[in-house]
Amino acid sequence: MRFRVSILLLLWLATGCRDAAPEAGRHFIAHRGATMRCTLAGENSREAIRFAARAGFDCIETDVRHTADSVLVAVHDATLNRTFTDDEGRPLAADVAVCDVDYARLRDSFRLRAALPEYRTRVLTLEEFCTECRACGLRLFIEPKKVTPDWVYPRMIEIADRILGRGNYVVTSNNDANDHIRFEMGISDIPLMGILYQTTYEHIASLGRTVVAVSATRFGADEYAGWVARARADGFETESHADDFERFDRVNRAGVDYVSTDLLAPDWRGQGTTRCFSEGCDAQRIADECRAVGQVAFGGIYLDAEWCGSATVTLARQTFVLPEAAEPRRACHQLMLFDEVPVCTICDPSDDFRLVRMALRVVAF
């Protein structure tokens, strides 16, 4: 196994690392919807689903918890404290476990956390979430949590089958769920996603109809590229989560099929309205033209740069370093915007820094 990964890694180093152009057919998964970490919208909310569709996501991920009276709801955490407020919008003073609250109280006494009052809405049941995803044309990745009771699985599958259809959704993230569905329930035709750092590659591959999730955080750059290359060579689709430049650059260079994110904008394929597009090698002119767009309520900013040397870049609310490059190197970064003026600056250049080309696009979704 190590020898095979090493060979694949050498192939990647020889062919895949020269360019970071995104692949045309890849998919973006809005992690718990397009929420920008509970600012744009509440996690797993109806608004987050609709914002994701507007932004150009074609997939979405949600989580399954159960209430005290056994209603399946789209909630990530075991407690309500991070993602909910009370009915008046105030933080919760004490921990409130989802499984200790009946559905009627959860629906009527708590609101999802968001920056704007109109998006502080009510919890969705799994059935409501699936129905909204179907209406928006989004493929759903469903994550049952690691402590999920056995009775949740058949009910979750019944809801997803009835609304989305068998094969039109993916059960994702924890490998206990995968084993339960394949080996205990004996279901072979539901697509799964297996997390590589939690188990072995061979175990994930043995499940069939599986997306291999390779962490861009848990693995070093070379090991990461090797695992993605091996999975793709074996005919498996691959997934990684990325929110910042370093991990997204790694994803781009490896050629991952599904990019899961909280903050990245999905690849631009004509969605929304382009407010500004500027390119050339005069970074200041390009940045000024984009900044002149003014406040963007909800949109994306897309950077495509080719350079030699190294420099520090600020794009929207992220600051990162372009890696040192002796020969021209290309990289892309793209972020969602929420109620902000699009910003792009380049500073602290190395002595040998040279901007070969830069393109910047600002889109209103």
How far apart are alpha carbons 57 and 280 in whole angstroms?
A: 29
| Residue 14: pLDDT over 70 | no
Work out whether strand 296-315 and strand 318-340 pair parallel, antiparallel, or are unpaired: antiparallel
Residue 63: name the closest of 134, 135, 147 by CA. Answer: 147
168-225: pLDDT as tens digits: 999 987 788 999 999 999 999 999 999 999 999 999 999 999 999 999 999 999 999 9
Could you give the count of Cα atoms lying within 13 Å of 331 in the half-sphere of its Cβ? 23
Instruction: Give me the chain's average pLDDT, please.
Output: 93
Specify the pLDDT at position 174: 76
21-71: pLDDT as tens digits: 666 689 999 999 999 999 999 999 999 999 999 999 999 999 999 999 999
pTM above 0.95, yes or no: no
Q: Compute CA 133 distance to the chain's CA centroid, rounded to the nearest angstrom.
A: 16
115-129: pLDDT as tens digits: 999 999 999 999 999
Specify the pLDDT at position 295: 97
Q: Which residues, 6+ apart, have CB-to-CB distance to 130 below 8 Å?
A: 140, 159, 160, 163, 164, 169
| Residue 351: pLDDT over 60 | yes
| Residue 20: pLDDT over 50 | yes
| Residue 135: pLDDT over 50 | yes
257-294: pLDDT as tens digits: 999 999 999 999 999 999 999 999 999 999 999 999 99
Specify the pLDDT at position 4: 45
pLDDT > 70 in the chain, percent: 93
* Confidence grade of residue 3 (pLDDT, cut at 50, 70, 90): very low
How far apart are alpha carbons 221 and 355 in whole angstroms?
A: 25
* Confidence grade of residue 11 (pLDDT, cut at 50, 70, 90): very low
223: alpha, beta or left, given left = phi > 0 and alpha = psi -120 to 50? alpha
Q: What are phi and psi of 185, to 5 degrees?
A: -90, -20
- Report all structural domains of the chain as residue ranges with CATH numbers, in order of start: 2-261 (3.20.20.190), 273-364 (2.60.120)
**Secondary structure of the chain in the HEC alphabet?**
CHHHHHHHHHHHHHHCCCCCCCCCCCEEEEECCCCCCCCCCCCCCHHHHHHHHHHCCCEEEEEEEECCCCCEECCCCCECCCCEEECCCCCCCCCCEHHHCCHHHHHHHEEECCCCHHHCCCCCEHHHHHHHHHHHCCEEEEEECCCCCCCHHHHHHHHHHHHHCCCCEEECCCHHHHHHHHHHCCCCCCCEEEEHHHCCHHHHHHHCCEEEECCCCCCCHHHHHHHHHHHHHCCCCEEEECCCHHHHHHHHHHCCCEEEECCECCCCCCCCEEEEEEEECCHHHHHHHHHCCCCEEEEEEEEEEEEEEEEEEEECCEEEEEEEEEEEEEEEEEEEEEEECCCEEEECCCCCCEEEEEEEEEEEC
